[in-house]
Amino acid sequence: MAGSTFGRLLSVTTFGESHGPAIGVIVDGVPAGMALAAEDIQRELNRRRPGQSAITTPRSEKDRVEILSGVFEGLTMGTPISLLIRNEEKKSADYEPLKDVFRPGHADYTYQAKFGVRDWRGGGRSSGRETAARVAAGAVAKKLLALRGVSILGYSLEIAGIRAARVDPAEIERNPARAPDAEAAALMVTAIEEARAAGDSVGGIAEVVASGCPAGLGDPVFDKLEALLAHAIMSVGAVRGVEVGAGFAVSGMRGSAYNDVQYVEEGRMRTRTNNAGGIAGGISTGGDIVVRAAIRPPASISLPQTAVDASGSTTTIQIGGRHDPCIVPRAIPVLEAMVALVLADSLLVQEAYVRNGVRPVRP
Amino acid sequence: MAGSTFGRLLSVTTFGESHGPAIGVIVDGVPAGMALAAEDIQRELNRRRPGQSAITTPRSEKDRVEILSGVFEGLTMGTPISLLIRNEEKKSADYEPLKDVFRPGHADYTYQAKFGVRDWRGGGRSSGRETAARVAAGAVAKKLLALRGVSILGYSLEIAGIRAARVDPAEIERNPARAPDAEAAALMVTAIEEARAAGDSVGGIAEVVASGCPAGLGDPVFDKLEALLAHAIMSVGAVRGVEVGAGFAVSGMRGSAYNDVQYVEEGRMRTRTNNAGGIAGGISTGGDIVVRAAIRPPASISLPQTAVDASGSTTTIQIGGRHDPCIVPRAIPVLEAMVALVLADSLLVQEAYVRNGVRPVRP
Amino acid sequence: MAGSTFGRLLSVTTFGESHGPAIGVIVDGVPAGMALAAEDIQRELNRRRPGQSAITTPRSEKDRVEILSGVFEGLTMGTPISLLIRNEEKKSADYEPLKDVFRPGHADYTYQAKFGVRDWRGGGRSSGRETAARVAAGAVAKKLLALRGVSILGYSLEIAGIRAARVDPAEIERNPARAPDAEAAALMVTAIEEARAAGDSVGGIAEVVASGCPAGLGDPVFDKLEALLAHAIMSVGAVRGVEVGAGFAVSGMRGSAYNDVQYVEEGRMRTRTNNAGGIAGGISTGGDIVVRAAIRPPASISLPQTAVDASGSTTTIQIGGRHDPCIVPRAIPVLEAMVALVLADSLLVQEAYVRNGVRPVRP
Amino acid sequence: MAGSTFGRLLSVTTFGESHGPAIGVIVDGVPAGMALAAEDIQRELNRRRPGQSAITTPRSEKDRVEILSGVFEGLTMGTPISLLIRNEEKKSADYEPLKDVFRPGHADYTYQAKFGVRDWRGGGRSSGRETAARVAAGAVAKKLLALRGVSILGYSLEIAGIRAARVDPAEIERNPARAPDAEAAALMVTAIEEARAAGDSVGGIAEVVASGCPAGLGDPVFDKLEALLAHAIMSVGAVRGVEVGAGFAVSGMRGSAYNDVQYVEEGRMRTRTNNAGGIAGGISTGGDIVVRAAIRPPASISLPQTAVDASGSTTTIQIGGRHDPCIVPRAIPVLEAMVALVLADSLLVQEAYVRNGVRPVRP
């Protein structure tokens, strides 16, 4: 209720401040009997970890995960899986000069207004570090989905206004921008480096595609699949917009162009276009589910900025430290995790009803 | 869990198919002692009602609301408020010719795939009619918010690609497009009429602004205020995208431009710009909360369309009946209702903690 | 959150005050494709209805149920089922003389303390009338359970200290006490009539047995099956105690007597005794689930009573009207309904995991 | 949803198997600004810890708690508080001989039936060890309650059929039975020792009293305060029954004796008796809240027992190891914790509505 828990049958509860002893997550509701090892989770955490490339923060957090419960003899037990990541290489002293200042673009003021107290060391609970716990949980969800033939692929569609012209899955992990288009990637990297050199930062758009989902996931009305996805994705710190399918482009479309024409191929319903993003009436169609997230430029920049301090006075600050000039590439595994959590949860919910009701009829 | 309930302390549960006996909503968690009359709710329902203008469906649903519980001697009792709207003027026979066809752009196929059975009369639960229950509930939330100085204003920002150039609140309810700019409104109306004449439909973008919210609403991590809003708004049938503040434009912004500069005026924290949309770190800043929704063109068009039927065969259909060529104007009260529900709920949650913890400190 | 909703995958939300226009319930999460008619629900409502026998209140509420949604062409649609019962034959004027008095044993004072306002007409939301909505919802759950071979049987185990010596299912609905033992029933009826003649009321103990449940229902830790049952049963107005299996008698038992000895018969695990009440570690064993509820004597008695009024003065009141001298027989269908709701919900939850995890292994 | 989370505004999520690396709990929703130290939690854990006296298990678990998040500079932050307890001195090999046997009275068979896999080392998730996490969370809730003048007192009311004749709070922690009556305590200890000498175990009844609660906690219908308490208490592994106030004794009472007579003293509403247990209509009266739990004799006894193994064969087993002959004294802090969690949560919920609605009116 205080916002640290998400999900229905598959629920995750996270904890931790960026400069506290540890962060972590409890994943409850994972079916018993699934093979799971720390390595499955570590692999995903490594994709989010700082210091991966020249265009991310040089901070070197190891983010080693420990499984504290829920797994025995290599198998999930049906009991809550607790994943712990100790915080290392914390440089809290870096933040001390700004402890009484509300940094622009950060949550310093709103946390102070809400709670009356605030962990000023690196953003505390509002830090992007919190997303490591999501990635850890998402790794479990991805494993569950993979067993059912569902795969999740994320990439940087646009950075600093530069948009990928094609989607080549093989290219994504080859370039530090995590863009699916080598040429666009090169331009993106240049734009990021220019921004950093200028003491500034840039934003972008990430796209996540889920393939292999059965038709029938999601529920009418408030738990439409796109509503659950929007909730999940918009809960990631830097996101300011979410789209499915044609997204904001629908404003300029007519119904005759928007409506995806259906056809049957090899006994399966398909569509010629995918303006609906794989979801109709809140329920998955069986086609690719396509979502996009608008990711703002990071708030921590080294340019001088005007700020207000706790006494209400205006001051000029300069934020030191080692920050990401663009968060989009490192946000990809986080967004994939959120999509995976929603889909795995929806799969479990759907199975409950399918088994207890009539079988789906497909043309 | 099956998606008909939304909210935490202020929760709403809706029911009803478009051609069943009735639709309605239970609003639970409204504090006791608030004046509430059927007229408060009817006023909002009338704004959503079909047949209001030349550019909406000529269907004439009266949508009379009846309060079944929770109000006694003109005051809320703290018990669930049940609101009932009987379905009248249903023309189910209109839908009979298409009962075995999956209409393009509709939820016919996905409902069939999920449930194995389907109410083919006018979309059943997936019908836009379901949103009348949301508007009724939202009217209660608006009343609660108004008592605390919070007001909600929605309008058509863009229709058929035509964007309002200014926001004049007084203009909104004067034109059938519900646009805040008279000139743009005229163009929008023309575009809608052209689409209808062509047997087609158009989409658009709605904007909702909440003013007067205190700082401190929303919770860290999964229940960030924008995440709750995104969930609420994306759960409205026709929505394909949600933005807060600068939204998707962040992709082309640098951090130095994005970060809203704060200053103190008359003892209150304010910002020079509002790229954050009134929310930082998931928590309201005290400034205007600004959200936008991309609304697709209605699926029901009278142009001939290719469709698949229950036997898997391809056929050509033509949808008769009285449909909206553009749903944006009628969606405005629905989106306002969803924003009101999220804010009223968040206010209640926040009060629980404020009273039990330290008082917020404001510069 | 304000307490009108119960259940996880199968959730019910009730509304209504005893003297308002109507009471009702929304049952969400019922799988699609199940046959359901108003008659299925009416049958159960008739068992709870006042005026059934000489030992219940002579009030004659018809309690006709109307299905407002969720059922089409005789089948559930997977959408919320809304059930409405209009309040008829309300005699609100009867309550006017006591509108400023806090009746002993009633919730008058606590509702006033909590809400600051109060519906003084017949108890409002705290009235036993609210349980009709539970019975209506329970009828749906019973239908779902019956399809899976689960049956629920409730009866009066003890009234006014008189305990049934045997359980003869055929006897239960034959006597107005709903006791499973004809001789005890006769004594119970006499005791009830004596209490009524004395202007007083009596309490008792109800027992509910669920047969045919598979092993595996319920979850470890907070959602143990007995915890969900205790929540459900203790939420019925007049209940002051809940037991499973050996219940409070465990205080005098040794472990060697308590531990149910298991054995295998026709490939199924069974136990020689059932001290656990069909639940071990919070999870159903596959044996009969046995719960008991202690039901207090009704608060409304015609004997003169000392009471405090809204001004804080002490006064003497005499409650007129037509009240039950013993609520146990009419509580039986209510308790059956609560057990049915918990079991149906737990069945749905369990199916989600069975299908997604390893298959249960049984010796 | 899989049962590891409990609570509404104040929610706890536990994890951990008895012989895994650790157990722990996340407490979310604690208001910011409350002083909290590890010592506050350790004190309560020490009351539950094994090896406290001659009549408990001689296992020596240190149960050192570590606060991983949510507290900064000695104050709660409003963010989730994560509490970790490493499992030490695990003797998993002790359990190896019985790994393929379903121990009588344990959850071995039901976990196997539900999950298909099972942690055979000391009960895994079904172990009483899980309650340490509850006690840790309860310590936080107790602190919150103490700030509002609410105190919780638990004790052994009955052990092995021997009932305390008086409640002397000062006596409780003086005797190893945690009984509030020195004479009864001596008899209880003797009975426990006799049972242990016979290779057996005994049950009992615990009583918990909460004093200082304001009137108004709890909600109508499904979240009646006694329903939340029953859920919480019945979710503790060994509990087979829950009572409030007069409890099962109501069966032999008449309404004239049951109804608590109210009176006003020093401006506060009071009652001459407390048959309602401090709760009327599901809402606290402002008087003492009194609940009792029936606690079964521990399942692990050293007497030979008949059991079924995984192949379905019957065998005779003898359980070695160091087990409690009576769990009631060590269950007291666990039950206190559960009552504290429910009351703290209900206080938060109530404040949300009080602040947003009319003020309570008290005579």
Q: What is the pLDDT of residues A287-308, one digit of tens each?
A: 999 999 999 999 999 999 999 9
Sort out which chain D residues have CB atoms less than 8 A from A72's CB and list them. 17, 20, 117, 119, 121, 124
Contacts of D122 by beta carbon, 8 Å cutoff, 6+ apart: D18, D19, D90, D92, D94, D95, D129
For A32, the closest of C78, C355, C357 (CB atoms) is C357
pLDDT over 70, % of chain B: 96
Contact D214, D319 (CB under 8 A): no
| Rounded-to-integer distance, Cα C264 and Cα D306, Å | 12
Chain B residue whose CA is closest to C78: B115
Q: Which of D143, D173, D107, D127 is nearest to D332 (CA)?
A: D173
Q: Residue A227: how many CA atoms within 13 Å on its side-chain side?
A: 27
| Rounded-to-integer distance, Cα C274 and Cα B40, Å | 57
Alpha-carbon torsion angle C315, C316, C322, C324, nearest 10 = 100
D→B contacts (Cβ < 8 Å), by residue, are 9, 29, 31-34, 76, 78-79, 144, 148, 220, 347-349, 351-358
Question: Does B251 have pLDDT greater than 80?
Answer: yes
Whether A79 and D125 lie within 8 Å, measured CB to CB: yes
Sort out which chain C residues have CB atoms less than 8 A from D260's CB and list them. 104-105
Distance from CA of D36 to the nearest CA of C (A): 25
Distance from CA of D357 to the nearest CA of B (A): 5
| Rounded-to-integer distance, Cα A183 and Cα A173, Å | 14
| Rounded-to-integer distance, Cα B281 and Cα D226, Å | 38
Chain B residue whose CA is closest to A315: B263
pLDDT over 90, % of chain B: 85
DSSP-H helix ranges across chain B: 38-48, 108-115, 131-147, 169-172, 182-197, 225-234, 255-258, 328-356
Structure tokens belonging to residue D171: 């006596």
Whether B81 and C15 lie within 8 Å, measured CB to CB: yes
For D251, the closest of C111, C203, C227 (CB atoms) is C203
| Rounded-to-integer distance, Cα D324 and Cα D312, Å | 29
The model's pLDDT over B74-114, given as tens digits with 9 standing for 90+, comes to 999 999 999 999 998 677 787 888 889 999 999 999 999 99
Contact B95, B51 (CB under 8 A): no
Q: What is the mean pLDDT of residues B35-51?
A: 93
- What are the phi and psi torsion angles at A141 (to 5°)? -65, -40
pLDDT for C363 equals: 39
Whether C348 and A348 lie within 8 Å, measured CB to CB: no
- What are the phi and psi torsion angles at B205 (to 5°)? -135, 130
The model's pLDDT over B262-311, given as tens digits with 9 standing for 90+, comes to 999 998 999 999 999 999 999 999 999 999 999 999 999 999 999 999 99
Sort out which chain C residues have CB atoms less than 8 A from B84's CB and list them. 68, 84
pLDDT for D94 equals: 78
The ipTM is: 0.96
**pTM value?**
0.96
For B78, the closest of D351, D353, D355 (CB atoms) is D353
Question: Does B57 have pLDDT greater than 90?
Answer: no
Identify residue C170 by its one-letter amino acid code: A
Q: Splitting chain D (363 residues) into consecutive groups of 10 residues, what average pLDDT does each group show?
A: 93 96 97 95 93 74 92 96 91 83 95 91 91 98 95 98 98 97 98 97 98 96 98 98 98 97 93 97 97 97 95 92 91 98 96 63 41
| Rounded-to-integer distance, Cα C292 and Cα C247, Å | 8
For A17, the closest of D15, D69, D84 (CB atoms) is D69
Residues in chain C: 363
User: Partners of D264 in the beta sheet?
Assistant: D269
| Rounded-to-integer distance, Cα B112 and Cα B103, Å | 12
Distance from CA of C137 to the nearest CA of B (A): 14
- Residue A117 DSSP class: -
Cα B236 to chain centroid, rounded: 6
Sheet of D11-15, strands arranged across: D5-6, D11-15, D22-28, D81-86, D65-69
When the pLDDT of each residue in chain B is averaged and rounded to a whole number, the result is: 93
Contact A98, A319 (CB under 8 A): yes
Return the partners of chain A (3 or more C-beta pairs < 8 Å).
B, C, D
Chain A residue whose CA is closest to C352: A352
Contact C297, D250 (CB under 8 A): yes
pLDDT for C61 equals: 67
- What are the phi and psi torsion angles at D261 (to 5°)? -75, 125
Whether B348 and D353 lie within 8 Å, measured CB to CB: yes
Contact B310, B117 (CB under 8 A): no
User: Residue D262 to residues A1, C101, D179, D214, D283: CA-CA distances in angstroms?
Assistant: 36, 11, 31, 16, 15
Q: Splitting chain C (363 residues) into consecutive groups of 10 residues, what average pLDDT does each group show?
A: 93 96 97 95 93 75 92 96 91 83 95 92 92 98 95 98 98 97 98 97 98 96 98 98 98 97 93 97 97 97 95 92 91 98 96 62 40
Between chain B and chain D, the number of residue pairs with CB atoms below 8 A apart is: 64
pLDDT for A323 equals: 87
DSSP-H helix ranges across D50-156: 108-115, 131-147
How far the first Cα of chain C sits from its last, in Å, is 42
Ordered DSSP codes for A153-165: EEEEEEETTEE-S
Structure tokens belonging to residue A169: 């899955």
pLDDT for C360 equals: 41
pLDDT for B358 equals: 46
pLDDT for C358 equals: 47
pLDDT for C359 equals: 45
Whether A79 and C220 lie within 8 Å, measured CB to CB: yes
Q: Splitting chain A (363 residues) into consecutive groups of 10 residues, what average pLDDT does each group show?
A: 93 96 97 95 93 74 92 96 91 83 95 91 92 98 95 98 98 97 98 97 98 96 98 98 98 97 93 97 97 97 95 92 92 98 96 63 41
Position with higher pLDDT, C240 vs B117: C240
Identify residue A163 by its one-letter amino acid code: R
Whether B23 and C117 lie within 8 Å, measured CB to CB: no
Sort out which chain C residues have CB atoms less than 8 A from A349's CB and list them. 9, 352
| Rounded-to-integer distance, Cα D100 and Cα D102, Å | 7
pLDDT for C68 equals: 98
Whether B79 and C124 lie within 8 Å, measured CB to CB: yes
Q: Residue A134: how many CA atoms within 13 Å on its side-chain side?
A: 30
For C31, the closest of A33, A76, A357 (CB atoms) is A357
